[in-house]
């Protein structure tokens, strides 16, 4: 059997180095990528309807294919769900993915074999870039804490099973043609905790505890999952379970001794429990607001990010201390300047740094000129690197302020830093009273907020700086100051469980309805 270094380096030479080579001329890689997608999918129903076989340039492609949304793709998705083949892509459909966006509206996406292949390969490429470019080969000698959803949700969309993203990609067998990938996975000694049967547990408290119990007994060197959910798991492992661990007959005596030595005032120091911890593989939500909390919990580890949606993998981190690099050879990208509503989409060759763009994607997964709705801002173009990512275009736009999820994340993060606290999650409810409006911000603080009035004033000032229109409406009295509503630790998870969402992948809608807001367990609002 190959040594771990030889195995990683073999994979690096086969898959990672060609990626770096293509990034030397990203636009050439983009043009080649589009040609391959059009050739592969020209015989599909969508390809025939839009003349894929006759397209010879980016301009022709843009002229023949309109920009699409989930709603405009639904007739094609319905055909796939009913068992029709060769509709959006030529390969086999494996499962349907359930995705709930920022507003919580459920969407069902077909998941084909080619999309699966690219997804798994991109995940491994990102991981191998981390190992090679940091030298942390020893991460493969331990365990990885993985936050995963169940492989199946027990429901159907058409004739297909439905799965959450993390459940499907860890439980659907990989396509046979990925022999190099299978050899790499087989040869790796890195094991995953908790075991797969824990994925199936639906009760939140039980799943969190079992995940914690298996992880404290292991030599965890990496962790992966939706960033906010992973952080919450780490907080619970550190602060809530010591007595339960020590009384658990399933936990061995050696681990209990380790935990006693690693605790102080009932809090477990995870840095002592996992002295070889190396990396958090972050995805699902921006890692930026959670960096300080991750380092407080786990020490001086790396945070290695990926940027993917259910529909398509957008990019991954390649080098330490660098943003996410666009995946130029997996997907064809176009970009629309966010501040120009009627602007045409432009290819990568025409983008500029420090300008927010909405992403339009064309992929092997059956999405053509599809508007993800997400915003990216490039900090470099050689290679193309994202600095800031917003998961949705405008979370709220009550009076022209157009404040995105990313703006709220950044503002809350900086106010928390000012007051020496952290936050786990937030959600927003716009409220109207007559001719005035304000934001009701539900925030799960860690630890509890002591100066509510001061925090509210600081956050209001930062929002006014972030948006000229918000500031203008505040001056005009159209907006009143935001109302901060502290949420009990675990309060958002309580709502998700009531909604039947999985603890590992269920995300609280950032934009609330009045009905949802009334379900959230809150703390007394005293300043």
Query: Which of 476, 473, 495, 486 is closest to 522 using CA atoms?
Result: 486
CA 111 to centroid of chain Cα atoms: 17
CA 390, CA 407: separation in Å to the nearest integer? 8
| d(C-alpha 125, C-alpha 17), whole Å | 10
Nearest Cα to Cα of residue 345 among 365, 327, 370? 370
Alpha helices by DSSP H, 52-195: 58-64, 70-81, 113-134, 165-171, 179-187
pLDDT tens digits along 33-43: 999 999 999 99
| pLDDT band with cut points at 50, 70 and 90 for residue 1 | low
pLDDT at 354 over 90: no
pLDDT at 199: 84
C-alpha to C-alpha distances, 12 to 20, 133, 323, 411, nearest whole angstrom: 10, 11, 20, 39
What six digits make up the tokens of 122?
A: 């991109």
In this prediction, residues 376-386 reach a mean pLDDT of 89
State yes or no: pLDDT of 146 exceeds 70: yes
Q: What is the pLDDT of residue 187?
A: 43
The residue assigned the tokens 């030298």 is 135
**Residue 111 and residue 162 in contact, taking contact as beta carbons nearer than 8 Å:** no
pLDDT digits (tens, 9 = 90+) for 363-372: 999 999 999 8
- Tens-digit pLDDT profile for residues 73-90: 999 999 999 999 999 999
Strands (E), 101-250: 106-112, 143-146, 156-157, 160-163, 191-193, 220-226
**CA 282/CA 391 separation, integer angstroms:** 15
Say which residues have a Cβ less than 8 Å from residue 310's Cβ, sequence separation at least 6.
Answer: 97, 99, 107, 109, 165
Query: Stretch 69-75: mean pLDDT, rounded?
Result: 93
3-state secondary structure 422-452: EEEEEEEEEEEECCEEEEEEEEEEECCCCCH
Express each pLDDT in 129-140 by its tens digit. Answer: 999 999 999 998
Mapping DSSP onto H, E and C, the string for 264-329 reads ECCEECHHHHCCCCCEEEEECCCCHHHHHHHHHHHCCCEEEEEEECCCCEEEEECCCCCCEEECCC
Over residues 48-71, mean pLDDT: 95
Residue 145 has pLDDT above 70, yes or no: yes
Burial code of 375-392, b = ≥16 C-beta within 10 A, e = fewer?
Answer: bbbbeeeebbbbebbbbb
Q: Which of 359, 313, 366 is nearest to 336 (CA)?
A: 359
DSSP alpha helix (H) spans, 396-511:
405-419, 452-466, 468-476, 491-498
pLDDT at 178 (0 to 100):
52
The CA distance from 311 to 377, in Å, is 20
CB-based contact 348:361 (threshold 8 Å):
no
Q: CB burial class (10 A; 0-12, 13-18, 19+) of residue 488?
A: middle
Which domains occur in the chain, in start order? Answer: 4-307 (no CATH), 405-517 (3.30.300)
From edge to edge, which strands make up the β-sheet containing 483-486? Answer: 422-433, 436-446, 483-486
Q: Is the pLDDT of residue 516 over 50?
A: yes
Is the bond into 194 cis (omega within 30 degrees of 0)? yes
User: For residue range 211-221, what is the model confidence (pLDDT) as tens digits?
Assistant: 999 999 999 99
Percentage of the chain beyond pLDDT 90 is 53
Residue 134 neighbours by CB distance under 10 Å: 15
Reported pTM:
0.84
């Amino acid at each position: 059997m190959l040594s771990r270094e030889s195995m990683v380096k073999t994979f690096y030479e086969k898959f990672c180095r060609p990626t770096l080579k293509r990034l030397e001329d990203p636009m050439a890689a983009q043009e080649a990528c589009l040609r391959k997608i059009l050739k592969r999918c020209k015989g599909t129903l969508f390809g025939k309807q839009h003349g894929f076989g006759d397209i010879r340039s980016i301009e022709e492609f843009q002229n023949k294919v309109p920009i699409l949304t989930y709603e405009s793709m639904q007739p094609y998705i319905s055909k796939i769900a009913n068992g029709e083949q060769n509709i959006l892509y030529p390969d086999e459909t494996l499962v349907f993915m359930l995705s709930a966006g920022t507003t919580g509206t459920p969407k069902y996406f077909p998941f084909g074999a080619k999309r699966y292949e690219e997804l798994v390969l991109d995940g491994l490429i990102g991981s191998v870039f981390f190992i090679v470019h940091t030298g942390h080969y020893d991460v493969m000698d331990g365990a990885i804490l993985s936050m995963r959803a169940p492989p199946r949700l027990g429901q159907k969309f058409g004739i297909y099973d439905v799965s959450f993203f993390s459940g499907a990609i860890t439980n659907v067998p990989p396509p046979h043609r990925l022999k190099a990938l299978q050899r790499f996975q087989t040869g790796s000694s890195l094991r995953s905790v908790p075991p797969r049967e824990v994925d199936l547990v639906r009760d939140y408290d039980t799943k969190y505890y079992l995940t914690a119990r298996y992880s404290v007994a292991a030599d965890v060197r990496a962790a992966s999952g939706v960033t906010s959910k992973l952080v919450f798991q780490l907080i619970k492992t550190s602060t809530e379970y010591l007595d339960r661990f020590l009384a658990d007959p399933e936990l061995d005596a050696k681990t209990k001794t380790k935990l006693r030595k690693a605790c102080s005032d009932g809090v477990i120091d995870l840095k002592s429990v996992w002295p070889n911890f190396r990396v958090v593989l972050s995805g699902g939500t921006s890692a930026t607001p959670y960096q300080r909390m991750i380092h407080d919990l786990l020490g001086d580890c790396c945070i290695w990010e990926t940027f993917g949606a259910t529909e398509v993998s957008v990019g991954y981190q390649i080098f330490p201390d660098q943003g996410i690099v666009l995946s130029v050879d997996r997907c064809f990208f176009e970009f629309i300047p966010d501040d120009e509503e009627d602007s045409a989409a432009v290819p990568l060759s025409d983008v500029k740094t420090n300008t927010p763009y909405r992403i339009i994607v064309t992929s092997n997964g059956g999405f053509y000129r599809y508007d993800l709705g997400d915003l990216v801002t490039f900090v470099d173009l050689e290679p193309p690197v994202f600095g800031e990512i917003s998961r949705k275009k405008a979370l709220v736009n009550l009076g022209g302020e157009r404040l995105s999820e990313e703006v709220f994340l950044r503002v809350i993060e900086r106010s928390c830093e000012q007051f020496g606290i952290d936050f786990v999650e937030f959600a927003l409810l716009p409220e109207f009273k007559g001719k005035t409006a304000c934001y009701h911000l539900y925030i799960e603080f860690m630890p509890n907020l002591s100066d509510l009035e001061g925090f509210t004033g600081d956050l209001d000032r930062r929002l006014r700086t972030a948006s000229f229109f918000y500031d203008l409406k505040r001056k005009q009295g159209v907006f009143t100051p935001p109302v901060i509503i502290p949420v009990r630790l675990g309060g958002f998870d309580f709502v998700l469980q009531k909604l039947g969402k999985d603890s590992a992948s269920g995300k609280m809608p950032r934009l609330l309805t009045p009905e949802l807001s009334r379900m959230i367990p809150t703390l007394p609002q005293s300043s």
